[in-house]
Amino acid sequence: MKNNSFFYFLTLNLLKEKRRYAGIVIISSLLIFLLSSVLFISSSIKQTLNYTLKAQPDFIVQNIKGGKVAPINSNMVNKILNIYGVEKVTKRVYGRYFFDDKYSTLIVGVDFLDEQSNKNLETLINSTDLKQFLSKEQMIIGQGVKNYLKTHYYNLEYNFLTPDGQMKNIKIFKTLSSKSAIISNDETIMPLKSAQKVLGLKENKITDIALNVPNDSEWQTVKAKLQSLNFNIRVISKKDMQKAYESLFNYKGGLFLVLFLIVIATFSLLLYLRYTLAASLERKEIAILRAVGWSIKDVLKLKFLENIFLVIFAFILGSSLAYIFVFVLNAPLLKNIFLGGSNLTNFAKFTPVVDYGVLSTIFIIFTVAFLSSVLIPVWKIAVTEPKEAL
């Protein structure tokens, strides 16, 4: 390659216009960086949520009053257990506790005496700690909650103000890892009874009921049976949740659509500049090359290789930097757009997910548009008689 005069001329051509090409590469990679970052974050969150859906019960039964979720009687659990094909019926107690009118935490009450919950808890905190944890009224908090409490000097415990005006003191046992912060950042896990007190629920009241139906062909029937238990019951299936997550972080809609439009507009502008650049400044160069014996094919080959190099360089640079930005640096600034920044600061770490399909679509669209914006004017100049272009 080092003795190839064409390759030498190609490098020479690229480097002699270093500044101009650097400008093109920087703008292009910036656009690709933006697009890829958004894509990486949304696909990472979606993948994490889909992955954790494994832990999501198949159905949730809620009590609706006036269109709002109201506490449900815990004896409903027994009624549900009577339905054939239903398994793992669990009481869920959760709700938002507002520290003030802006910052809030999701209180989750867990029945630690329940065998299943106990087993899962063991993987979250090791078994020696587990005994210690269960010995007192304690809570496990997410990173965001910890950060909020710390800034208010609650390093070891917190006094919750219950709706009936009493104080409920609960010790902080452990903070959840930032690796799980996508779902646990604002969570506070505590014993079921404590949660009921903090959320102002009576002992026989719970937020909702979760259940599993292992045979998925029975889902429709079970859903209908659940619905018939009471007229004000709402049943949410796992599929509904999945759909909600899909649309929540769908990069094709909402804010991202606006972002895409901006990127497309900037990209069109860049292409227009590249087009005029090729049509004016490179006009003489092409005519000279043609006059000294280069064929149309040679000129097109030179310009093609020159620009494909720029495109590949810009694309790899942009997407790699986006990868580092999102998965190594955890997307500062951009993270807040996805996970919210006005409430508790989110310390989420993103699971590396690269959607090669979408990435290669971006690459193909980018390459085709970019190359045609150069090759069309170059071809137009190259086919005219060199005398006219000189």
Partner 1 sequence: MHIKIALFKKGKTVIKEFLIYTIFIIILFTAVNLHYFFSKNSINRDSLTVAKVTKITEPSLSVGIFENRFLYLDKSFDNNVYPDMMSINKTGFVYEK
Partner 2 sequence: MVIIENLNKFYEIDGQKQYILNGINLSVQKGECVILKGVSGSGKTTLLSIIAGLDKPSSGKVIIDGEAVSKLPDMHLSKFRAKKIGIVFQNFNLLEGVNLLDNTMVPLIADKIGLKEAKDKALNALKLANIEHKANKIPSELSGGEKQRGAIARALVANPNLILCDEPTANLDRENSLKFISALKKLHSMGKTLIIATHDPIFEELDFKHKVVEISQGKIGFAVDA
Interactions with partner 2, residue window 275-294 (CB under 8 A): 284-285, 287-294
Please work out the total of residues on this chain that contact partner 1, with binding judged by CB under 8 A: 79
Decide: is 334 part of the binding site for partner 1 (CB under 8 A): no
Decide: is 127 part of the binding site for partner 1 (CB under 8 A): no
Instruction: Decide whether 328 or 390 has the Cβ nearer to partner 2.
Output: 390
Instruction: Decide whether 343 or 372 has the Cβ nearer to partner 1.
Output: 343
Decide: is 390 part of the binding site for partner 2 (CB under 8 A): yes
Q: Which residues in 83-153 belong to E strands, given as ranges?
A: 87-98, 104-110, 138-141
From the list partner 2, partner 1, none, pick the one residue 221 interacts with, judged by a Cβ distance below 5 to 8 Å according to partner type.
Answer: none
Instruction: Map the footprint of partner 2 across residues 53-92, applying CB under 8 A.
Output: none
Alpha carbon 98 to its chain's center: 25
- Alpha carbons 11 and 295: distance in angstroms, whole number: 19
Tokens of 247: 């649309």
Terminal Cα distance for the chain, rounded: 32
For 345, list phi and psi in degrees, rounded to 5: -65, 135
196: three-class secondary structure by DSSP: helix
Shortest distance, position 189 Cβ to partner 1, whole Å? 6
Task: Decide: residue 159, CB within 10 A, 0-12 exposed, 13-18 middle, 19+ buried.
Answer: exposed
Among 78, 120, 166, 232, binds partner 1 (CB under 8 A): 120
Decide: is 59 part of the binding site for partner 1 (CB under 8 A): no
- Alpha carbons 379 and 126: distance in angstroms, whole number: 69
62 to 81: interface string for partner 1, x by CB under 8 A: ------xx------------
Tokens of 331: 């997307």
- Alpha carbons 11 and 21: distance in angstroms, whole number: 12
327 to 366: interface string for partner 2, x by CB under 8 A: ----------------------------------------
Decide: is 176 part of the binding site for partner 1 (CB under 8 A): yes
If one counts every other C-beta atom within 10 angstroms of the C-beta of residue 337, the result is 14
**Among the candidate windows 149-157, 235-243, 264-272, 381-389, which touches partner 2 by CB under 8 A?**
381-389
